[in-house]
Structure 1
Amino acid sequence: MKRHLIIVLLIGLILTGCGRDISSVESSMIGHWKETFNDGETGEIYISKDKFITVINGTKMTYEYKIVSENDKKKEISFVTKGAEDDSIKYEQKFLNKKMTKLNSTVDALNMKLGGRKGDETLDLIESLATSLNVDTHVTTKWKYVDGKTQP
């Protein structure tokens, strides 16, 4: 009986040691996430220590990213992605549970830098209208952790 109990305890310790690193918000980001937009559409996100990959509607985009700020107590992190065409997007994320498997991810649509420019005349007009009408340009999506994969 004691032998069985020891074996069960050892297996438990081994399995616990093989788990995901959630010791910080930065390490908790690593892995494969399912992103759900407000309209119900979904995308896949893969994050490694140096790459941020999105797969939305079958289109794969690969970015480098840089952590801007992190607060382990508040379970918050901000980072900026940089793509091949000098695109950049700033993400602000808030983990919603202790297991670090759910988070809200917010992007300010007007501060996206696409195609190497912050915007063009059309985007400048939209920004002006949004400001004058006091429209919130922040887009928040829900992310759910899937597994430890860092590549599609």
Structure 2
Amino acid sequence: MKTARAIQLSLTLLLPLLICGCGQDISSVKKAIRGHWVSESGKVNQYFGEGTWIQNDGGREMEFSYTITETNEAMGTLKMSLKNATGAGHEKEIRFSTDRKTMIHTFILGSARVDSKYNYVDTKERP
């Protein structure tokens, strides 16, 4: 009887911790970027893992390695350098909303800059 009660009490205390511990880590911009993001149109999915970025755009998939080159916690921004398997690459700037559930993603190639808005979906780091 005591064992059953102890198990029930343990589950009651641990279940909320397990549920809360499965979401996005927003303790820093480096951690907040990790996971699955979807464009406002719903057509582009991005997955950020540890040093890996995958974009799926209507069935076309691209994978790059990335290095974070600059962060600004107060402004909620980061910059990264990306390279594909052949060594070709580009730069990105990310600006997070205050709650870090939305980001403005700026693609930079030479002098060209394109902004896109993405919303956080889940912790998946691969499609």
Structure 2 residues not aligned, in runs of 5+: 1-9
Q: Deviations over 1:12-39 (max 9, x none)?
A: 3443333321110000000011024xxx
Q: Deviations over 1:43-97 (max 9, x none)?
A: 1101101210011121111110000100111110010110012221111011013
Determine if the alignment matches structure 1 residue 102 to structure 2 residue 102: yes
Correspondence list, 1:81-100, <5 A: 81-98=82-99, 100=100
Structure 1 residues not aligned, in runs of 5+: 1-5, 112-126, 128-136
Aligned partner of 1:142: which letter?
A: K
Tell me how far 1:41 sits from its aligned partner.
6.8
Number of residues of Structure 1 aligned to a counterpart in Structure 2: 121
In the superposition, the TM-score normalised over structure 1's length comes to 0.69
Counterpart selection for 1:12 from 5, 11, 16: 16
Correspondence list, 1:1-150, <5 A: 11-36=15-40, 40=41, 42-98=43-99, 100-109=100-109, 111=110, 137-150=112-125
In the superposition, the TM-score normalised over structure 2's length comes to 0.81
Structure 1 residue runs of 4+, over 4 Å off?
6-10
Q: What's the secondary structure of 2:79's corresponding residue?
A: strand
Separation of aligned partners in 2, 1:67 and 1:82: 12
Going from structure 1 to structure 2, the CA distance change for 1:7 and 1:58 (only over 3 Å counts) comes to closer
Structure (1/2) with the larger strand percentage: 2
Aligned partner of 2:79: which letter?
A: S
Structure showing greater Rg:
1
